Homo-oligomer: A and B are copies of this chain.
Amino acid sequence: MLTYDMSHADKALYLYLYECIRKDILEGELKTDEKMPSKRTLAENLGISTITVENAYGLLISEGYMYTVPKKGYYVSRISRQQLSSQPAAKKLDIDKRRVDEEYSYDFSSNRTERSDFPFSIWARLMRENISLKEKELLTVSPCEGIAELREAIADHLRSFRGMTIDPDQIIVGAGTEYLYGLLIKLLGEDKVYCVENPGYKKLLSIYRSNGVECRYVDLDDHGMRVDMLRSCGAQIIHICPNHHFPTGITMPVSRRYELLAWANEDKGRYIIEDDYDSEFRLKGNPIPPIQSIDACEKVIYMNTFSKSLTSTIRISYMVLPEHLANRFFEKLSFYANTVSTFEQYTLAAFMKRGYFEKHINRMRLRYGRKRTQILDLIKKVLGSEDCRIIENESGLHFVLEFNTDIGDEELKKRLARKKIRMVSITDFYMDELPRDRHQFVLNYSGLSMDGMEDALREIKKVLAEGRKKA
**A residues neighboring B (CB under 8 Å):** 62-65, 67, 77-84, 87-99, 112, 115, 118, 120, 124, 127-128, 131-132, 135-136, 138-143, 145, 152, 155-156, 159-163, 165-170, 175-176, 178-179, 182, 185-186, 190, 203, 206-207, 210-213, 282, 284-287, 289, 311-316, 323, 326-327, 330-344, 359, 361-366, 370
Contacts and interface: CB of A to CB of B under 8 A. Distances in A.
Main secondary structure of the interface of A (DSSP, over half): loop
A65 B358 CA distance: 11
A77 B362 CA distance: 9
Contacts of A162: 82
Nearest to A312: B141
A178 B141 contact: no
Contacts of A88: 165
B343 A84 contact: no
Q: Nearest 6 A-B pairs (CB), nearest first?
A: A64-B362, A190-B212, A175-B339, A124-B131, A175-B175, A115-B139
Nearest to A203: B335
Given A67-B366, A165-B87, A142 B313 contact: yes
A328 to B, nearest CB: 10
Nearest to A364: B64
A99 B141 CA distance: 14
A79 B292 CA distance: 22
Contact of A365 (B64, B138, B285): B64
A419 B312 CA distance: 51
Given A82-B160, A161-B81, A343 B342 contact: no
Contact of A341 (B135, B315, B359): B315
Given A64-B363, A344-B341, A95 B330 contact: yes
A213 B82 CA distance: 38
A118 B142 CA distance: 16
B80 A313 contact: no
Nearest to A77: B366
A63 B175 contact: no
Contacts of A365: 64
A43 B231 CA distance: 65
A394 B127 CA distance: 39
A97 B171 CA distance: 12
A39 to B, nearest CB: 19
Contact of A313 (B65, B139, B315, B359): B139
A161 B136 CA distance: 30
Contact of A338 (B159, B210, B315, B363): B315
A366 B207 CA distance: 45
A95 B176 contact: no
23 contacts: A63-B359, A64-B361, A64-B364, A78-B284, A80-B286, A82-B163, A82-B286, A87-B165, A93-B167, A94-B323, A95-B167, A98-B331, A115-B139, A118-B139, A127-B127, A139-B313, A141-B313, A175-B315, A175-B340, A178-B339, A206-B335, A341-B344, A343-B344
Nearest to A78: B284
B159 A90 contact: yes
Contacts of A327: 94-96
A31 B79 CA distance: 71
B332 A210 contact: yes
A326 B344 CA distance: 29
Given A207-B336, A313-B343, 16 more contacts: A62-B359, A82-B163, A83-B163, A87-B165, A88-B165, A89-B165, A93-B169, A93-B326, A98-B331, A98-B334, A142-B313, A186-B210, A190-B212, A203-B335, A313-B342, A315-B340
A98 to B, nearest CB: 5
Contact of A63 (B83, B131, B284, B363): B363
Nearest to A332: B210
A57 B80 CA distance: 63
Contacts of A78: 284
A242 to B, nearest CB: 16
Given A82-B163, A139-B115, A175-B340, A170 B95 contact: yes
Given A82-B161, A161-B81, A313 B91 contact: no
Given A313-B140, A344-B344, A336 B178 contact: yes
